[in-house]
Amino acid sequence: MSILNAKPVVLAALAASALVMAVSMAFNDKRLCVVCRVYPVSPEYTVTCSFTCIQIFCQRGSGDPRMCDVCHRHPKRQGQQQCGDECAGVTNVACLICKSRPKDGRHDLCSLTCKKVAMILAPCILEVPRGHTIYDMVEGKFKRAWKNKSSPIPVIKRVFKIIENEEFQKPYELYRVDLAKATGAFGVGVYTSSASNKAYSYCKPNGALLLNKVVLGRVRHVSGWNEVMSCPPGYNSVIFERMDGILNETILYCDDAIRPVFLIIF
Ligand SMILES: *[C@@H]1O[C@H](CO)[C@@H](O)[C@H](O)[C@H]1NC(C)=O
Ligand SMILES: *[C@@H]1O[C@H](CO)[C@@H](O)[C@H](O)[C@H]1NC(C)=O
């Protein structure tokens, strides 16, 4: 009687411990770093465990091409690069560095960790996939800046984000906050245009174009060629609204007044 009574209890206990083992294995497996597969994931490093592993991850993913491009944990769904709808939803808003988390608002990356990785990889260019919100933003800027309505807007083939290192970025930031330092080499200018048709006229066909950020400072507006031959004293840039701006020319006189942000390929 007592033996019969004891049996189910023992079985239940065994079943329970088996269940606990199964659960803890699944949990561990799910949470292991997708690069080293040894240490548990630390949320600071997205799907990896450490700064060492996330650096590897940002350059080559988890190393297993069969796995989802976003979570790197589940196999890709047939005909897709992601495992399911949740991960597919991240792709077009993904951080350009880790590609495994949504980017942070207006920024192109998701976190300070990815920014740190970017600074280590810099200078480099990161391809922005078609369909990504950043791709749409760059394409939108290019199209809106196209001022020659009688000329068709060319088709963009690829977009790259330009990652500069801090050393290269710093003089631009300094110039921006302290325009008094803008005493660059007068006489030699950096020629830019806010009209994409004008910029594009120098790069077709199969060319490339840089979308830059610029510091204009105090602008001298001119209305004809040769009106100024160098940066006019007291000014930082010159704008010539040639043909009502269809051929806008914006001339900067200091290297630190301009930095590239995106590379567009046609
Ligand atoms: C606008 O585009 C047309 C067609 O390509 C071209 O003939 C014309 O010169 C362009 N206008 C300007 C101001 O560039
Ligand atoms: C010409 O370019 C300047 C600076 O790039 C910009 O502020 C201005 O609005 C442009 N003019 C037109 C008509 O687009």
247-252: strand order across its sheet: 190-192, 247-252, 237-242, 219-222
With a CB cutoff of 8 Å and minimum separation 6, the contacts of 109 are: 95, 96, 97, 98, 103, 115, 118
Contact 48, 34 (CB under 8 A): yes
Same domain, 99 and 144: no
What was the pLDDT predicted at 245?
A: 86
- Cα-to-centroid distance, 239 and ligand 2 (Å): 7
User: How crowded is residue 63: how many other Cβ atoms within 10 Å of its Cβ?
Assistant: 12
Helices 112-121/51-60 angle, 10° precision: 70
Same domain, 102 and 61: yes
Residue nearest to atom 3 of ligand 1 (CA): 151
Residue nearest to atom 5 of ligand 1 (CA): 151
What was the pLDDT predicted at 263?
A: 97
What was the pLDDT predicted at 17?
A: 45
Same domain, 116 and 189: no
What was the pLDDT predicted at 189?
A: 81
In a domain, 183, yes or no: yes
- Domain end: 93, 120, 147, which one? 120
pTM of full prediction above 0.95: no
In a domain, 216, yes or no: yes
Atom of ligand 2 nearest to the CA of 216: 4
Same domain, 102 and 166: no
Q: What is the DSSP string of 69-122?
A: TTTSSSBPPTTSSSSSHHHHHHHTTB-TTTSSSB--TTSSSS-HHHHHHHHHH-
Structural domain for 187, as ranges: 139-265
CA atoms of 36 and 24, how far apart (whole Å): 19
CA atoms of 207 and 264, how far apart (whole Å): 9
CA atoms of 103 and 109, how far apart (whole Å): 5
How far apart, in Å, are the Cα atoms of 236 and each of 104, 110, 165, 247?
Answer: 33, 35, 25, 20
- Cα-to-centroid distance, 149 and ligand 1 (Å): 8
Number of domains in the chain: 2
Q: Report the chain (266 residues): mean pLDDT per 10 consecutive residues.
A: 39 44 46 94 95 96 94 95 96 97 95 96 95 98 97 96 90 72 50 93 87 96 86 92 90 91 96
Q: What is the CATH number of the domain that holds 176?
A: 3.90.228.10
Nearest to 182 by CA among 222, 232, 223: 232
In a domain, 11, yes or no: no
Same domain, 189 and 245: yes
Q: Using H for helix, E for strand and C for coil, what is the string for 42-54?
A: CHHHCCCCCHHHH
- Domain end: 87, 120, 153, which one? 120
Residue nearest to atom 7 of ligand 2 (CA): 194
Q: In the structure, which protein residues have their CB atom closer than 6 angstroms to any atom of ligand 1?
A: 148, 150-151, 243, 246-247
Same domain, 174 and 249: yes
Across the chain, which distance is largest between two alpha carbons, in Å?
111
What was the pLDDT predicted at 18?
A: 45
CA atoms of 103 and 112, how far apart (whole Å): 11
Q: Which two tokens stand for residue 208?
A: 């490339």
Same domain, 104 and 154: no
- Domain end: 120, 149, 169, which one? 120
CA atoms of 217 and 179, how far apart (whole Å): 7
In a domain, 129, yes or no: no
- Cα-to-centroid distance, 227 and ligand 1 (Å): 24
In a domain, 23, yes or no: no
Same domain, 229 and 165: yes
Name the residue of 194, 214, 218, 223 whose CB sits within 8 Å of the most ligand 2 atoms, as the mutation to test its pocket: 194
Same domain, 150 and 81: no
Same domain, 98 and 148: no
Q: In the structure, which protein residues have their CB atom closer than 6 angstroms to any atom of ligand 2?
A: 194, 239, 241, 245, 248, 250
CA atoms of 157 and 233, how far apart (whole Å): 42
Same domain, 114 and 155: no
Same domain, 106 and 199: no
Q: Which two tokens stand for residue 187?
A: 């006489």
